[in-house]
Structure 1
Amino acid sequence: MDSVMASMKIVFALLTFITVGMIIGALLQLAFLRRLEESSGTGFPSFRRTLGSQNDAFLRLPGGVSHWANDKEAEVLRLGFVKPEIISWSPRIIVLHSFLSMEECDYLRAIAEPRLRVSTVVDTKTGKGIKSDVRTSSGMFLNSDERKYPIVQAIEKRIAVYSQIPAENGELIQVLRYEKDQFYLPHHDYFSDTFNLKRGGQRIATMLMYLSDNVEGGETYFPMAGTGECPCGGKTKKGMSVKPIKGDAVLFWSMGLDGQSDPKSIHGGCEVLTGEKWSATKWMRQRSTS
């Protein structure tokens, strides 16, 4: 019995020694990583710090060398800036913080402003755009020539990478302006007519990009997302909403993983209370739209 007790004491001592050693090793490793992050500038909260112009806005290594020095692909994709946040799995909704630069937002607004017209909705019988009281904004579409501009091409490529849908499956970008008291009642982006399915098939996803700041109201509202309540145009409603912040984008899917249209993807634009809400929308199809 004494020998058994002695053996157990030895085993217990060894286990204690190993456990203490592992804890000390983990603490030393954490301290090392913290020093590494502080020296490289890649740790939080410095991970997304501003480093000057967009061309220099990448994570830096010791000595001031850019982590993606001269990497045009990283510049186009805004690596180190874009921060995805999944807010709903059903329907599938992702907020992409800092998706656009401030210069890109202003650029799209400048192109659009002289050509804004009263917005329309799709007629389910003819597939053509008609005026409707459910949508009170003004807007315009970039044309095929503007789609070839370098800044627009960069935005289109970024959309394709983050959505994993080829750029050629996307429709032309639409820019919208919502003024005070304007709104868009809840609706689906997928088509319920056959006319619009002929070119590119069904809409499967939408990228909604915010181009202006200092807006009260104007949230993007998903009444069938989540189980709580959210603000919408100064009111509290059931569902989930996203505040329009300049540079942010909302990516959501109109089709589920089963390939069927998702009724839960219904969404709307809440009433603008003060300021102007500018946004740019990119709808993506099942096939090429060209």
Structure 2
Amino acid sequence: MRQSAVIDTDGKSVNSSVRTSSGTFINRGHDKILSNIEKRIADFTFIPVENGEDVNILHYEVGQHYVTHADYFWNEVNTRNGGQRAATMLMYLSNVEEGGETTFPSAKGNFSSVPWWNELSDCGKEGLSIKPKMGDAILFWSMKPDGSFDPTSYHGACPVIKGDKWSCTKWLRVGKRT
């Protein structure tokens, strides 16, 4: 595990204070279990396994977070291998005692009526938020059916307040990855 990085406009991984977790990548098809998970994601999304990036295992300790961001890219450099990121499957590998929510601050609606509202941190109460629960997964699309970017897909990881958070991210591209 290493400090998680972000991709800069030149397509390079760089450390940044906007993303403070640690993580590692596991190659697509690494073993039978991972291959089965990737196949299930492909079956569910109708995006071929070959269009997926390697899975990213992430660990957030107390205080660690990821500032609100988009998963799609703003420049051609980052889309040369497989095209644009069309969707993200985020799988929770642990429960989090407090904080660590995945939040979608651009989502519209009155979310204070959701049953888990009182379980959310202050950060989690800004937009639509999902509290990490081991075994749960969320799928969200970064692009609309017409190929334009979906600004409601902007998301972030609230700081962990108590405990720690483990998750696994699978980014899915519009084309085959080499």
Q: Which has the higher strand share?
A: 2
Percent identical among aligned pairs is 52
Matches within 5 A, 1:15-164: 116-124=1-9, 126-144=10-28, 147-164=29-46
Give the secondary-structure state (helix, strand or coil) at the position aligned to 1:283: strand
Give the secondary-structure state (helix, strand or coil) at the position aligned to 2:135: coil
Q: Is 1:283 aligned to residue 171 of structure 2?
A: yes
Runs of 4+ in 1 over 3 A off after TM superposition: 229-238
Aligned pair in 2 of structure 1 residues 235, 289: CA closer, same or farther (>3 Å)? closer
The CA distance in 2 between the partners of 1:251 and 1:130, in whole Å, is: 26
User: For the aligned residues, what is the CA RMSD?
Assistant: 1.5
Give the secondary-structure state (helix, strand or coil) at the position aligned to 1:176: strand
Q: CA deviation at 1:229?
A: 4.3
Q: TM-score, normalised by structure 1?
A: 0.57
Which of 244, 248, 251 is the matching residue for 2:132?
244
Q: CA deviation at 1:234?
A: 3.6
- CA contact under 8 A between 1:234 and 1:273: conserved in structure 2? no
Number of residue pairs the alignment of both structures matches: 172
Describe the superposition over 1:240-270 as per-residue Cα deviations: whole angstroms up to 9, x where unpaired.
Answer: 0011000000100000021111111100001
Aligned pair in 2 of structure 1 residues 236, 142: CA closer, same or farther (>3 Å)? closer
Q: CA deviation at 1:149?
A: 0.7
5+ residue gaps, structure 1, are: 1-115
Aligned twin of 1:218: 100
- CA contact under 8 A between 2:52 and 2:171: conserved in structure 1? yes
Aligned twin of 1:273: 161
- CA contact under 8 A between 1:138 and 1:178: conserved in structure 2? yes
5+ residue gaps, structure 2, are: none
Aligned pair in 2 of structure 1 residues 205, 135: CA closer, same or farther (>3 Å)? same
Aligned twin of 2:148: 260
Residue type matched to 2:131 in 1? K
- CA contact under 8 A between 1:229 and 1:236: conserved in structure 2? no
Q: CA deviation at 1:215?
A: 2.8
- CA contact under 8 A between 1:227 and 1:238: conserved in structure 2? no
Q: TM-score, normalised by structure 2?
A: 0.91
The CA distance in 1 between the partners of 2:134 and 2:46, in whole Å, is: 23
Matches within 5 A, 1:186-201: 186-201=68-83
- CA contact under 8 A between 1:175 and 1:280: conserved in structure 2? yes
The CA distance in 1 between the partners of 2:175 and 2:50, in whole Å, is: 8
Q: Which has the higher helix share?
A: 1
Describe the superposition over 1:185-215 as per-residue Cα deviations: whole angstroms up to 9, x where unpaired.
Answer: 1000000121111100000000000001243
Q: CA deviation at 1:236?
A: 5.7
Aligned twin of 1:74: none
Q: CA deviation at 1:179?
A: 0.4
Q: CA deviation at 1:130?
A: 0.5
The CA distance in 2 between the partners of 1:164 and 1:216, in whole Å, is: 34
Larger relative contact order, structure 1 or 2 (CA cutoff 8 Å, min sep 6): 2
Aligned pair in 2 of structure 1 residues 214, 261: CA closer, same or farther (>3 Å)? closer
The CA distance in 1 between the partners of 2:44 and 2:124, in whole Å, is: 31
The CA distance in 1 between the partners of 2:30 and 2:23, in whole Å, is: 20
Aligned twin of 1:26: none
